[in-house]
Chains A and B, each alone.
Chain A
Amino acid sequence: MSFPWANEYKPQHPVMQWVDERLPLPRFVYNAIGGGYPVPRNLNYWWNFGVLSGVALMIQIITGIILAMHYYASIDGAFNSVEHIMRDVNGGWFIRYAHMNGASFFFIVVYIHIFRGLFYGSYKAPREMVWLLGVVIFLLMMATGFMGYVLPWGQMSFWGAQVITGFFSAIPVVGEPLRQWLLGGFAPDQAALNRFFSLHYLLPFVILGAIILHVWALHIPGSSNPTGVAVKAESDTVPFHPYYTAKDGFGLGLFLIAFVLVTFFAPNMLGHPDNYIPANPMSTPAHIVPEWYYWPFYAILRAFTVDFAIPFTGIVIIPAKLMGVLAMFGSILLLFFLPWLDTSPVRSGKYRPLFRKFFYVLVFNIGVLGFCGVMPAEEPYVMLSQLAAAYYFAHFLIILPIVSRIEKTAPLPNSITEAVTGKPLETAAA
């Protein structure tokens, strides 16, 4: 579906016409990201991050395929093969640093993309499916990132694998067998490394598939916009190409500048020094931390210190460890229900004064959780993470449903055109 005023693909060249008649791929691309996709004219820079996420994935896939040409998934060879890439493969250091930091930049742009969606209510009808697929992509990214971090087989790789698979052992009865099944052994070893490599190579293509669905689902209702008001007329939109391709080109330039600054001048800034020590199953690093993009979730995991028990009987219903694991997964899974938790008919946070305040608290709160995630499990960080995690769950599960019911929203513009030009749609369009 598209808007009736969308440009129709007209092949410029007889060859393209020939192709288009037999396989309408040029038409498909034109309608997806070309002149045939009408997009609200008022998108701000926060809307650049969707395209940037796609670029980041492509950087990861290309550099990753190259790294796989030189990497050995072997517990004796993996660490050295990474150093071989860094030292002897022609330009290998560049590929490896780009991949390593590319993962961080992928998460940076995706987090901004998610927060943009949260603020502007992009998860609301009719775009619930876009949001749900987005959460699936996020989960796949987390799995892929984790398995990729294991591959260099440094100390953090090994102990990360040990701790993360340890989550599963919290599950009653089947936990321990499940963990052994995941690892193919009692501890991370050759079997685990090999399957992580296999899956780390596979999942990015699954992510790519999910992104195609995500974009497809987006094209059914069309892009949302900062006012949250639906597109009503042609004057509300501009064709994606050249208007937003040019804007995305500019955004891409800024993104790449940031990426190059880190990759070439501080390539190890976002990593942990312990991962330059080869994995040693006999000795745990003093302070295990995951990569920065997992810090908030790691903080939630560690925040639960009290068993859920019947008071004074000593009967434990849910041990603290299991609570932590449930909460950590729950903190992401609850995003699946967001479209039905926030029932406000107004999409954009711009017109929701109360929602907006809570949104800023949430952003700050996730920052606090991230900080607690990187700090050692000591006071006062544990207490801080408990408060922050409590707010996190309260925000999505309690506050949002209540706010969307009681909030008095600000008046919405009648149309995008009116919001942009200040003139009512009818006169502006004329």
Chain B
Amino acid sequence: MVRLIAGLVGLFFSGMLLISFVTGAYTAVTEPVAPTVESQFHKHPKKVSFKHDGPFGSYDKAQLQRGLKVYAEVCSACHSLNQVAFRNFEDLGYSEDEVKAIAKGWKTEVPSINPETGEPATRPGLPSDKIPSPYANETAARAANNNALPPDLSLMTKARHNGPAYVYSLLTGYQAVPANLPKESRPGTGLHYNPYFANLNLAMAPPLTGDDQVTFDDGTKATKDQMATDVAAFLTWTAEPKMEARKTAGWASLIFLIIFTALCYLSYRTIWADKKH
């Protein structure tokens, strides 16, 4: 009885699936789906390599400092970095006093209240503060950006496939609209064609416009490519600040476990030595 009912249920489900299959196949043959514009024009991120790649990779602090400079002078005009605190910049190789100075000199001040009147006010940043957002809230951000919301960048490199390369490619990927791009996919007002962006048209105007847009303290020539690479590295750090500790702990654990496994194997063989199995 169980098997009879099961067989009927099986026939029903499998039958419905096969009918679905036949219908689907018929539709696929009679009305072939045209490839989407995105699938034709969208590009995967370019290949970039970083010192922090790979199981032994560690951050290039000079590069992170340059990336911070690009963020501070270019990106931070619109994009927040709200998971990162000024104190975290000590990880980039800055001293406590340098961090204090960076916090104090940050161009957006930290929201606060007037201690006398309780009115909203701002004060200079302290190392313990999170990086203040350029806009007070989402509505203000949208109002200032043609209704597009500049996303927070703290986790951007983890929130996109192949994030660091994506950031680099997006920043260097603006280009002229291809002649064969269908009309409805052409960028409208306030949009910019960028094949590395999922739907090809990006509200962000090209942020890196030319060489020497920022001046690096270490004398590195600020080419567009250099700035894009450095800020991509910096955003990798903001998304994964504990990466170096993670890799170190990983190697220690791995070496420990290989010895553990070897000892267990020997122990296992010894115990089973006189048992055929």
Contacts and interface: CB of A to CB of B under 8 A. Distances in A.
A105 interface: no
Interface string A379-397: 1101100110111011011
Interface residues of A, number: 66
Given A264-B249, A306-B19, A276 B7 contact: no
Contact of A264 (B10, B247, B261): B247
A88 to B, nearest CB: 9
A268 B158 contact: yes
Interface stretch (A53-61, A117-125, A244-252): A244-252
Interface stretch (A15-23, A79-87, A108-116, A184-192): A79-87
Given A268-B158, A421-B276, A87 B261 contact: no
A244 to B, nearest CB: 9
A254 B268 CA distance: 13
B161 A273 contact: yes
A1 B143 CA distance: 74
A298 to B, nearest CB: 15
A118 to B, nearest CB: 16
B10 to A, nearest CB: 3
Given A260-B254, A421-B276, A341 B23 contact: no
A43 B272 CA distance: 12
B47 interface: no
A407 B266 CA distance: 42
A327 B264 contact: no
Interface in A59-111: 80, 83, 86-87, 93-94, 97
A420 B264 contact: no
A277 B155 contact: yes
A253 B241 contact: no
Contact of B261 (A80, A257, A386): A257
A410 to B, nearest CB: 21
A246 B268 contact: yes
Given A265-B247, A276-B155, A383 B25 contact: yes
A401 B17 contact: no
A364 interface: no
B26 to A, nearest CB: 11
A304 B3 CA distance: 24
B159 A277 contact: yes
Q: Is the interface of A mostly helix, strand, loop or mixed?
A: helix
Nearest to B33: A379
B14 A393 contact: yes
A310 interface: no
Instruction: Indicate the size class of the contact surface on chain B.
Output: 35 or more
B7 A80 contact: no
A271 to B, nearest CB: 9
Contact of B265 (A83, A250, A304, A306): A250
A267 interface: yes
A238 interface: yes
A274 B3 contact: no
Interface string B245-277: 111011101100110111011011001100111
B24 A305 contact: yes
A41 interface: yes
Given A253-B264, A383-B21, A86 B246 contact: no
B16 interface: yes
A46 interface: no
Interface in A228-248: 238, 242-243, 246-247
Given A94-B246, A337-B6, A386-B17, A379 B254 contact: no
Given A83-B154, A378-B33, A398-B6, 12 more contacts: A87-B241, A93-B245, A247-B268, A250-B265, A257-B258, A260-B253, A306-B19, A320-B20, A383-B21, A387-B18, A387-B21, A401-B7
Interface of B: 2-3, 6-7, 9-11, 13-14, 16-21, 23-25, 28, 33, 55, 83, 88, 151, 154-155, 158-161, 163, 198, 239, 241-242, 245-247, 249-251, 253-254, 257-258, 260-262, 264-265, 267-268, 271-272, 275-277
Interface of A: 41-43, 80, 83, 86-87, 93-94, 97, 238, 242-243, 246-247, 249-250, 252-254, 256-257, 260-261, 263-265, 267-268, 273-274, 276-277, 286, 303-306, 308, 320, 323, 327, 330, 334, 337, 340-341, 343, 378-380, 382-383, 386-387, 389-391, 393-394, 396-398, 401, 420-421
12 contacts: A41-B277, A83-B83, A94-B249, A243-B272, A256-B257, A263-B250, A264-B247, A264-B254, A273-B160, A276-B239, A396-B6, A398-B11
